[in-house]
Amino acid sequence: QKNLNIEKIIFKVVQMKFLAMHITNQTLNRCVLNSLSLFRHPNILRLYGYFHDAARVYLILEFAPKGELYGELQRCGTFDDQRSATYIMELADALSYCHSKNVIHRDIKPENLLLGANGELKIADFGWSVHTPSSRRSTLCGTLDYLPPEMIEGKTHDEKVDLWSLGVLCYEFLVGRPPFETKSHEETYRKISRVSEIFRNSYDEGSRDLINRLLKHNPMHRLPIQGVLVHPWVLENSCKKPTAQTESIPQT
């Protein structure tokens, strides 16, 4: 009798009309899903496969037993430097892998990040929700908090939108709330557009330097993803190192 290494999986059913909001062409739907099913990275939730009928897509996904990072952040309030830097290292490593495959996430936030069995971070949402919505933010402002200036201003955008999200997350891990959080959409828009107004001395110099380098209004001025992986604060505090896949990608 053979010993079988059985991994837990989950099925996620996505309405075709919902998926079409993110990917408008059916041929492109299959292309993107096929591409994501080939991804192999410890910090990206694995898509084992999919099938569909006329109305729905059925995703076969890796199971992340420790749930959403959002719930963990709500429970803890803030994370210390070591935990924050480890999550930033894991996320930057995964995003570097995505970008090397010409995939931009565009919606990095705590609700779209899951925790594996060993507490490792996993990017979990490339246009669809993986877990139940009970702990998710229901207001539009909850999403606006993570959008970069080029998106709220209706400009074209590229992979540098994910760099902005890294800066927002780093701040939120350390302070306990997003840097642009307000009670109104208008004020959130204003704070994002005038990014220089948000910084306070509520975290140490190393993390403040990283956040400042990522939260630049001009996308071209943001610290590249490889710069995040070798930033002194990240290297000093992270418990993890970049994967071999990331280390082999040339810096830009």
Binding residues: 12, 62-64, 111-112, 125
Q: Which of 53, 80, 81, 107 is flagged as catalytic? A: 107
As given in the structure block, the two tokens for residue 17 are: 């009309």
Give the C-alpha separation, 60 to 47, whole Å.
6
3-state helix, strand, coil in the chain (%, to 5): 45, 10, 40
The candidate with the shortest Cα–Cα distance to 155, out of 220, 228, 252, 227, is 220
Q: Is 209 a catalytic residue?
A: no
User: Binding site for ATP: residue ranges?
Assistant: 12, 62-64, 111-112, 125
**64: CB partners within 8 A, 6+ apart:** 45, 114, 115, 116, 117, 122, 124, 130, 131
3-state secondary structure of 213: helix
As given in the structure block, the two tokens for residue 201 are: 């001395």
The candidate with the shortest Cα–Cα distance to 207, out of 94, 81, 83, 92, is 81
What amino acid positions are annotated as catalytic residues?
A: 107
